[in-house]
């Protein structure tokens, strides 16, 4: 009878210890912390802000470009075209930046799931 009582008490103690360890793991796990969730939310907000800023920049540049008169001088016309094509080339990189930011978010999420 004494050995049965020891066995029952040992099982209860192990169960309580496992429950306490699980609670401690939840408290210590950095992937479940408010700071980590805020970091992920911050990355999503950054992607949205980059997209909005790029869109507003394109709209402003288009308005300014339309408001400018056509230069009479051929060299000025070529330089205006060069500036416009340079801006267009820079705006082609915005999707790449957004993809890199989203990939960073996905990699961070996968790393969080691994731990």
Q: What is the pLDDT of residue 6?
A: 64
Q: What is the pLDDT of residue 36?
A: 66
Over the stretch 61-81, which tens digit does the pLDDT of each residue have? 889 888 888 888 888 889 888
- Which structural domain, as residue segments, surrounds residue 9? 1-29
Shared domain check, 56 and 2: no
Neighbouring residues of 36: CB distance < 8 A, sequence distance ≥ 6? 30, 112
Provide φ and ψ at 68, rounded to 5°.
-75, 140
- pTM of the entire structure? 0.54
Shared domain check, 37 and 77: yes
Please check the confidence at residue 101 and state whether its pLDDT lies above 60.
yes
Return d(Cα 105, Cα 115) in angstroms, integer.
Answer: 16
Our CA angle for 101, 103, 109, nearest 5°, is 105
Shared domain check, 39 and 25: no
100 band by pLDDT with thresholds 50, 70 and 90:
confident
Shared domain check, 7 and 49: no
């Amino acid at each position: 009878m004494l050995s049965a009582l020891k066995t029952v008490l040992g099982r209860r103690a192990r169960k309580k210890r496992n429950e306490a360890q699980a609670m401690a793991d939840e408290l210590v796990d950095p992937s479940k912390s408010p700071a980590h969730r805020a970091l992920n939310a911050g990355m999503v907000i950054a992607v949205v802000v980059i997209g909005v800023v790029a869109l507003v920049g394109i709209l402003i540049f288009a308005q300014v470009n339309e408001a400018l008169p056509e230069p009479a001088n051929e060299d000025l016309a070529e330089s205006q075209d060069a500036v416009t094509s340079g801006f267009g080339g820079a705006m082609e990189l915005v999707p790449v930046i957004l993809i890199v930011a989203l990939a960073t978010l996905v990699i961070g999420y996968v790393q969080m799931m691994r731990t």
